[in-house]
Structures are given as C-alpha cells and as structure tokens.
Structure 1
Amino acid sequence: MKRRIVLFTLVLFALAVPVFAQEAAEAAQEGAGNTSVWKYFAAALAVGVSCIAGGIAVGQIGAAAMGAMSENPELSGKALPYAGLAEGICLWGFLVALLIMIL
C-alpha cells in the first residue's frame, strides 16, 4: 500500500512540473520587457546606497582614528581593520548588484 502511495505521488509530481513550467514561461513572456528596466534600477540602487553608506562610515572611522592616533601613535595599526570593514560595505553592494544583473 505504501508503494502505491509513493508511486502515485511521484507520478503526480512528474506530471505537474510541465504544467507549472508552461505557466511560468507564459508569465515571463508577458512581463519580459518591463523586468529588465527594474533590474538595472535595482543594481544601480544597490551600488549607490552601499557606496554612499561606506563613504560615510569610512569618513567617521577615519576622523576618529586620526583623533586617537594624535593622542597615542601606537593605535595606528588597530584602526586599519575598522576602515577595511567599512569599505567592505561597498564590496557587498557591488556583489549584490552583480547577482541582480546575472539572475
């Protein structure tokens, strides 16, 4: 009895896949012209916002690091990783935009 249920379920899934694939293809053809515009807009927005946020973060971290180094010059090596983390925001924005463009 279990074999029949499993076999029936597998056949049902195998027959349902082409039906849903055809519906998805028809929906993609109807909205294909409008999708590409939004893709470019989303990619530009991802890069723009992340680079602006990264620039603000690097500016604030740089100012704080210069103030700390003026009081204690030994802190110069400890401030560099924080600036690198802030610059990583821009890299993540670029990677998100790249994935938007590819997919």
Structure 2
Amino acid sequence: MTPWLIGIPVVALFAVTALVLLRRRGRAGFAVVLGIDALVLVGAVILLMGALGSGPAAAAVGTAAVTAETAAPAGIGGSALIAAAIAVAGSSIGAAFAVAYTGSAALAAMSERPEIFGRAMVVVGLAEGIAIYGLVVAMILIGKA
C-alpha cells in the first residue's frame, strides 16, 4: 500500500511541472510533457505489476506456517480491488458528464417553462443513479476479494 501513497505526490508534482512547461515553452514543452507522461505510464505499470504480483501476507502463528490449502491464489484480491476502483471511477465520471448535460438542459427548459421542474429533476436524478450502480458493482467485487 505504501507505493500507492508515495505515488500520489509524485503524480501531482508531474502534473504541476507539465502545466508550467506547457505555459512557458509551447510546442517544445509539449514534447517534454509527452516524455514525462511516458515515464509516469511506466511507473504506473510497475506499481500495477507489483500490486497484482504480490500474494497475501503469510503470518506465521507460532511455528505453523500457512499451507497451500489455506492460502488464497496470489493476485486475485488485488485485481478485484483494482476492478472495484475502476468501476467507481468510471461510473462517477460518467455520472458527472450525464448530470452536466442533463442539468444544463433542464435549467434551459425550466427557464422557458417553469412547470416542468419535477420532470427535469427526475432526469437529473436518473443520471446520478449511474454512480450508484458503480458503487454497487464495487461492493460486489470487494465482497469477492
């Protein structure tokens, strides 16, 4: 878990550096940003391989070690957690886009006809339901981990 926590400030530093380079150098800064992006991608792949390759920690109780029958297959818990994170992130981003478009359209329609407030808010609420579906899928995946 520690590499993930260390990686967050590093990614933030790369993002700030990329913004500064793009503002000051233009087209030459864009090439540098692409190089930085390639480095970040390589680092992310290394972290992902480390997370998927590591098995559960084997804690020895007394002198008894964990046997092959009681140990879970290596990497299954980590991949389920990564899948849960992808489900939540994807559904949240999708819900954000949906609420942005339906909310602006609902406000535009309500400015012309205020009596459609209830129907417009139902559509916006349905768009927010997308994020809830992602959370449900994530809970199912975490339960299987």
TM-score by length of 2: 0.49
- Aligned counterpart in structure 2 of residue 55 of structure 1, from 69, 74, 96: 96
- Aligned counterpart in structure 1 of residue 111 of structure 2, from 54, 70, 94: 70
Q: What is residue 63 of structure 2 aligned with on the other side?
A: none
RMSD value over aligned CA atoms?
A: 1.9
Give the letter for the 2:140 counterpart.
Answer: L
Q: Report the Cα distance in structure 2 between the residues aligned to 1:95 and 1:62, rounded to whole angstroms.
A: 24
CA change 1:94–1:28 in 2 (3 A) is farther
CA change 1:76–1:33 in 2 (3 A) is same
CA deviation after TM superposition for structure 1 residue 28, in Å: 9.2
Q: Report the Cα distance in structure 2 between the residues aligned to 1:73 and 1:57, rounded to whole angstroms.
A: 22
**Moved >6 Å (runs of 4+):** none
Q: Give the greater-gyration-radius structure (CA).
A: 1
Specify which structure has the higher proportion of helix: 1
Q: RCO greater where, 1 or 2, for CA within 8 Å and sep 6 or more?
A: 1
Identity %: 38
Partner of 1:33, secondary structure, is coil
Point out where structure 1 has 5 or more consecutive residues left out of the alignment.
Answer: 1-25
CA deviation after TM superposition for structure 1 residue 40, in Å: 1.0
Number of aligned pairs? 77
CA deviation after TM superposition for structure 1 residue 33, in Å: 2.0
Q: What is residue 81 of structure 2 aligned with on the other side?
A: 40
CA change 1:27–1:41 in 2 (3 A) is farther
